[in-house]
Amino acid sequence: MYIHRRVDIMEFYVGKTRILIIRGDITEQNTDAIVNAANNSLMGGGGVDGAIHRKGGPTILEECRKIRENKWQNGLPTGNAVITKGGNLEARYVIHTVGPVWGGGDLGEPELLASAYRNSLSLAVSQGLRTIAFPSISTGAYSYPIEKASRVALKTVVEFLKGEDQLDEVVFVLFSSPALDRYRDIARELMTT
Ligand code: ADP
């Protein structure tokens, strides 16, 4: 009998940075930072955001409140990123970024999504971090189609890493098998072009 064994991890390198594509829960990652798909308010929400605040505890929200008071009184603009400690999470830091709400694709969504990834990576580098884990930003409540979002995510990260060698590892943590499959398909495609 032929048994098909699914291998749920994909790995490749850009320079000396390892990129991992895995299925899992972002709140369980032990990278230096995990990225939160936050909203402009930084005051928590559903999906990844809710899970991170629930598991990380109230100190994260406290820090977000201070960031709002000190710099972003009207909310964090879409595409930007800020950093807090990780509270009770295994990750030492949480990078909060805001992806775009999908509105059909002609409202600057690809560039805003790319900015969310780029600014998160820049912040990690400027803080001296070496490992970072991303969820699939904007593809839940914000309805960005996964095929399009995964392409932007992977392309942006690969481009960033071509000009930066401080990071040891970037992990894409997908919550579902279909999302994992899409990311793996796009990664394979990008590697052969
Ligand atoms: P957005 O508002 O940016 O769309 P969501 O949190 O609604 O953010 O969803 C983003 C993606 O994160 C979705 O693909 C969703 O399935 C996934 N997701 C939800 N919870 C988790 C989690 N705990 N770990 C990793 N990914 C998650």
Ordered domains of the chain (ranges, CATH): 3-192 (3.40.220.10)
Q: Whose CA is nearest to atom 15 of ligand 1?
A: 140
Per-residue pLDDT in tens (0 to 9) along the chain, 193 residues: 445 445 678 999 999 999 999 999 999 999 999 999 999 999 999 999 999 999 999 999 999 999 999 999 999 999 999 999 999 999 999 999 999 999 999 999 999 999 999 999 999 999 999 999 999 999 999 999 999 999 999 999 999 999 999 999 999 999 999 999 999 999 999 888 7
What SS3 string covers 120-180?
HHHHHHHCCCCEEEECCCCCCCCCCCHHHHHHHHHHHHHHHHHCCCCCCEEEEEECCHHHH
CA dist 162 and 30 (Å) reads 24
Q: State if residue 56 touches ligand 1 by the CB under 6 angstroms criterion.
A: no
Q: State if residue 139 touches ligand 1 by the CB under 6 angstroms criterion.
A: yes
- Pairing, β 169-174 against β 131-134: parallel
